[in-house]
Amino acid sequence: MTLTLYHCPDWGSQVIRLALEELGLDYRIRPMDWDAGDFDAPGFRAANPQGLIPVLETPEGPVFETAAILLWLNARHGGLGPGIDEPEAAAFLSWLFFVANTVHPGVMALIHPERPAGPGAAEETGRFALERLMVQADHLEALIRTRAPLWLTPQQPGLGHYLGILIRWAVYLPEDPGQRFSLDPFPALKAMLAAHEATPAARRLAVTDGLGAHPYTAPEAA
């Protein structure tokens, strides 16, 4: 099966590259260059009309949206989360959608605070986004402490790497240091992410894609 990932290091496609690497799948990278206009190219828009990465080209056509690709890969190859027939699928899907539609847009608002309500409201947008992310991290911390789900361990690393990349961005990308997220109040979440950044696949990609020694727990600008 030929898989091609449209990719920029440290963009959303990083989550999918980590998943592909964890599964040991053969895949090709199609590098994407924002400044060269790759995101507006008609061929790319045919694959994802939103003009966003990640996109994974598969023998059955393109798949887009980070979490959609994770679920597609998990159904075809297993290993990223519970199988569809397992009882844990119920909780896994609930939290995967929560991360995709709530945590992920919240982190985007934190690192691009001029977008949701214009540049004039950037300060308030950033502050609100950080407050909400702290609440969401509390929910995740409680989940790990009380349930310790297998689908938030390196044995099923799809969602853990997704959260790792989101938290990485929230820690080091806000321009205002006062708007940066910290993992310190969330030790269980931090330990979960430390385990994920230490997998052999994650270590390989941290070098290849220039993510630093501790991409989730101590990110730094490349």
Partner 1 sequence: MTLTLHHAPDFASTIVRFALEELELPHTLAIVDIDGGALASPEFRQVNPVGLIPALETDDGPMFETAAILLWLVDRTGRLGPGPTDPDRGAFLSWLFFTSNALHQAALAMFYPHRPAGEANTDAARAAAQEQIVARLGLMEAMLAAQAPRWLSPDHPGVLGYYIGVLVRWLILLPPAPYGIRLDDFPHLKAVLAAHEARPAALRIAASDGLGPTPFTNPGT
Interaction site with partner 1 (CB under 8 A): 48-50, 58, 60-69, 71-72, 75-76, 84, 87-91, 93-94, 96-98, 100-102, 104-105, 109, 115-118, 120-121, 124-125, 128, 139, 142-143
**Beta carbon of residue 218, minimum distance to partner 1 (angstroms, whole number):** 28
**Beta carbon of residue 76, minimum distance to partner 1 (angstroms, whole number):** 8
Given the complex with partner 1, which of 50 and 208 has the nearer CB atom?
50
Helices (H), 24-121: 42-47, 66-77, 89-98, 104-111
Given the complex with partner 1, which of 135 and 221 has the nearer CB atom?
135
Residue in the structure block whose two tokens are 């539609």: 101
Given the complex with partner 1, which of 147 and 204 has the nearer CB atom?
147
Is the CB of residue 4 less than 8 Å from the CB of residue 57? yes
Residue in the structure block whose two tokens are 């844990």: 88
Between the alpha carbon of residue 14 and those of residues 55, 150, 163, the distances in Å are: 11, 22, 11
**Beta carbon of residue 221, minimum distance to partner 1 (angstroms, whole number):** 27
Closest CA to 140 of 105, 90, 192, 88: 192
Given the complex with partner 1, which of 21 and 141 has the nearer CB atom?
141
Report DSSP state, residue 8: -
**Beta carbon of residue 151, minimum distance to partner 1 (angstroms, whole number):** 13
